[in-house]
Structure 1
């Protein structure tokens, strides 16, 4: 068996990981929940989305020149709004065909190529260890058989970078598109004083410093500062009771989003009760899904505004 992953593997991993991906691929016959194509680029015909992640602010490591002597010659890290999408295409097309289709779409969308290379030209396995790749089973990369493309466009004062990584697992072609819109991080920290003012002025306040992975209700560690400020507010006003209300964008079904938004609100209340000793009886939870948007769900910017947790005073 030839070595088929980008990183050195034990014998057991070299056997188990390809089987894991293959079994996952056989079981999956539709896009992962909440996934969608990137506007203006789309997908190769017959593909399904196996991995999807969008972040209002994140960093992406990309290469804009081939490796030399096993080392990067033009590595870049860009920060901003990042979307990562992994696809799997059934037997038939080649790596080059799938990649070329993405390259043509990027060109039509106004991107200029920075780098287009195949396995050996790129730098082989060391190259794959220094680019951004979604984990198995979302994305599979064969370190001995891949194509990589990096591109850039400038629209006014906005820089956008895109990469396409195309590889193969058995007869399936795997492809990953990453689009990073460069920009500064919005200040989403709302302190206890601002929360108190929002409740006093409007009876509610939106909190954007509460973070979850896409389509999940598990709080991320980055939520701690905002949770701490919520606890500070509740501790400073011992008689204050609040509703914690979860909101989503409109991606996915009504029932799914109603459940997800409620579960996210419950996760916040549970964290405040467990980690900050706020009496659970002071916090009621609810989920409104996408029924109370504050932005247009037709745009990524609007959807980002709609994904939030709100504090509401009864």
Structure 2
């Protein structure tokens, strides 16, 4: 199990006192080169003199762009995966595409504001649009936390990832940059428009605070940059045939289908759903006595009530198409929306969230 942040620091500090642990070689260092394999995104330049200390690319994923300060959940008992009180922006934009996440350590004696303004200048020069901007407590949530820890209020960074999602080794420059305490947080979200689609950029700058294993970076300004570029996802899901559906309904009573597609936050069926809908129709035509429940499922992105309603509307859209296009009798189809209530994988990463976004057929009789 990976541990980051101050909880692990306390454990290791106790080991040092006992003379049983020597982690000196794992401490943060003053970076003089980029992390191996990392590079700038072509859409957004780096602040001069900065070095990349954490880097990750996703060929296709979803990404939420905050467009308003974080607000506490109306359900005061709601917690995220790290037992933090849930905070979320009242307004956001959910987009999909190719995502690059880059973390830079900027030169000494550069303030978060100075670095942020330079990034804004680049966006403006590229004729981009600043969609939202905030600083410190005005961003909402806990403005002293990065991605680390549990049991408190969510931070702005936790809208994008938690420390458990990081691949950086404990006390490496990347882990230190993203899991230490922070101050003077600055943030903006922007859009770069182009003929082939919109690119979304978020930049978060802040001062890193640490006097233990990350002390080499204490007081340095960190720049966390996300770039979401337009890209069509690869369509590699094998269409489940009617015979396989019948077999699963007979042996398990249900089957999960991933070949039914909707745009983010929409309940209108996409054209590429047709092959799977045709197989569902074939299943029902082959057994005139069969009736099913069509259950829509979502991941945990967004509020509970919203996802429950959206998943119900998506299930209804499937029923409507089966009735109108394939002439299946409506009384053989019951619809329901489970929202985020029945995950089959972790919602803490995109791979798991993709498995949770599905339509399930349940045998009714």
> What TM-score do the two structures reach when normalised by structure 1?
0.49
Larger Rg: 2
